[in-house]
Amino acid sequence: MAVPEPTALPPPGRLTHVAAASGAALLKIAGTAGGMGVLLGRILARLFAFPPKIDGPELKRNLHKMAVKSLPIVVVTALFTGAIMVIQAAPLVKRYGAEGLLGWGAGFGTLREVAPLLTALMISGRVGANNTAELGTMVVTEQIDALRTLAIDPIAFLIAPRFLAIIVTLFVMTLYADALALFGAAYSGYGLIQVAPQSFYNGLTGGLLHFGDVANGLLKSLVFALVIALASCHFGLSTTGGAPGVGRSVNATVVASAAGVFVLDYLISFLLG
Amino acid sequence: MADAPLARPETGLVRNVGAAGLDLLLGGREMYSVFVRTLYYVFRGRRERGAVVRQMFEIGNRSLFFVSITMGFIGMILLYQAGLQSRRVLPDYTMLGATYLELLVRDLAASLAALMLATRVGAGIAAEIGSMVVTEQVDALRMCAADPIDFLVVPRFLASMVMTTALIVWSGAVAFVAGAITANVAFSVPFHTFFSMQLIDAGDLTIGLAKCVAYGAAIPVVSAYCGLSTFGGSEGVGWATTRAVVNSSLAIIILNAFISTAGLLLFGTK
């Protein structure tokens, strides 16, 4: 370590290095975003054609695989989430001595924020990552090229059904999660801090919560679904480098979906107010 | 079975539920065994020099950027929603900072950052160990009389325990500062009102730290179990990654419910 390197050229400055690295990262992000935009355009062109160019059986198969098979995870997540929300709201309720507010306190956060967010994270981990692995394997084993050779449009046959299935799945799962989280919250409130379920439900329907709050959460779930579907299809289709490449794509999908979900969550929260 | 000429498709409801239950039981037992063996080798194993530090870099430093960005955004969202919520009841923002900090310390910083880490770190661990399994490197380790748990899982376990705690503390700070800025801009709460620690007590800190340790232990064990049980070539690695992310997230949510309940029963609601 004490012996200096015998090379003549001085190493590039730290500042140059940082600038080059951040420039490259920015270009990469821009490339990914552009790729997703182009993919979205192509999918929408198939979906809004008349008649829609989308493979019906593939859509049905994906809906079963993504939605029905994810139901147990969503149920468990939602029930526990409801319980956690009540435990976190409990000190506030006790501090102000307002048991009637428990339903509102837990329900507000659950419906607007937590249920859509956690459902999106679970679906992104289960469905989005799985979808990328499947598409990536098809790409590296040249099955997509085989489809093109047979004059079958891979977007209409593979991508559009998956895109639509992810969006429907997340929306429906968020509906389930909303209901189950409130159910779990009502009964854990009864078990843990002895607030009767009736007064929990009264707090929910007592006028402080509006339909707008539910709609806010559901709108979020649609936007999250869009991000997850685009990221998983894009990274799956752009897989390179054989089997290890599939692993890298899956990792990229999960990370990009999570980051995208949080950034958009922020934007929507502020836009809708 | 042998004399049945035409096997009917096996799709009974009872059979499906039973199969799912058995799967869950066997998976749970396997995961428990990985956990116990990891604990055993933490105290008894041979340690490769530098392995833990390398994993700490991989788990900690590489996740720093991702965790900071997501927790910054989440801090802004949480505070904005909390502000909207309190505006509907009583427009008094003096306790907003103190309540927010208490919630962060007790639950949200640990749980949300751990969910992010489960995504990033869990997927990484499962993909790495899974591809070692399908390329038979893990079998090669066994042939060299090195237990893969000792050689692969223990460094990740120790590194994750340290780095998860560090990252959670850091991400709590990021979320709090992001929240303070949001409160100042959106609800014009002055910073010196917002930075208030009057609601934090030993109970909150204990619960928060217990969560850090529990999540730090759960993420590598669950992900390593998913990685070690990979089968079916390169496609199997994708499946293992998916299962690692989902199962670690589920583990975090379930642990959160248990620790929060225990905290509520131990420290009360004051």
In chain B, domain spans: 34-41+50-267
Q: Is residue A8 part of a domain?
A: no
List, for residues A24-69, the tens digit of each pLDDT value.
989 998 999 999 999 999 999 999 988 888 888 999 999 998 898 8
Give me the amino acid identity at A23: G
Mean predicted lDDT score pLDDT of chain B: 87
**In terms of pLDDT, which residue wins out, A133 or A163?**
A163
Distance from CA of A8 to the nearest CA of B (A): 32
Q: What is the largest CA-CA distance in chain A?
A: 80
Sign of CA dihedral A256, A262, A263, A268: positive
Cα atoms in the 13 Å half-sphere on the side-chain side of B26: 7
Helices and strands counted in chain A (H then E): 12, 0
For Cα atoms A108, A109, A114, give the angle at the middle one, nearest 5 degrees. 140
List, for residues B163-191, the tens digit of each pLDDT value.
999 999 999 999 999 999 999 998 888 88
pLDDT of residue A8: 60
CA dist., res. B202 & res. B267, Å (int): 9
pLDDT band at B2 (very low <50, low <70, confident <90, very high): very low
Interchain proximity B242–A90, CB inside 8 Å: no
With a CB cutoff of 8 Å and minimum separation 6, the contacts of A91 are B102, B269, B270
pLDDT of residue B1: 43
pLDDT of residue A7: 61
Q: Is residue A10 part of a domain?
A: no
With a CB cutoff of 8 Å and minimum separation 6, the contacts of B142 are B148
Which of these, A251, A204, A228, lies nearest to A89 by C-alpha position?
A204
**In terms of pLDDT, which residue wins out, B19 or B2?**
B19
Q: Is residue A156 part of a domain?
A: yes
* Nearest residue, CB atoms, B77 vs list A83, A265, A273: A265
Q: Name chain A contacts of B107, Cβ cutoff 8 Å.
A: 84, 88
pLDDT of residue B5: 54
Could you give phi then psi for residue B176, rounded to 5 degrees?
A: -70, -45
List, for residues A150-163, the tens digit of each pLDDT value.
999 999 999 999 99
How many distinct structural domains can be found in chain A?
1
- For residue B144, the 8-state DSSP code is T
**Is A266 an interface residue toward B (CB < 8 Å)?**
yes
Q: Supply A255's token pair.
A: 């990370």
Query: The domain containing residue A255 runs over which residues?
Result: 54-272
| Residues of B (46-75) whose Cβ lies below 8 Å from A | 66, 69-70, 73-74
Helices and strands counted in chain B (H then E): 12, 0
ipTM for the assembly: 0.79
Distance from CA of A51 to the nearest CA of B (A): 35
- For residue A48, the 8-state DSSP code is T
Which pTM value belongs to this model?
A: 0.83
Q: Is residue A174 part of a domain?
A: yes
CA dist., res. A173 & res. A220, Å (int): 13
Which of these, A170, A171, A157, A169, lies nearest to A43 by C-alpha position?
A157
Token pair 């590489």 is found at B62
Which H or E run contains B207? helix B202-228
Residue in chain A closest to B127 (alpha carbons) equals: A247
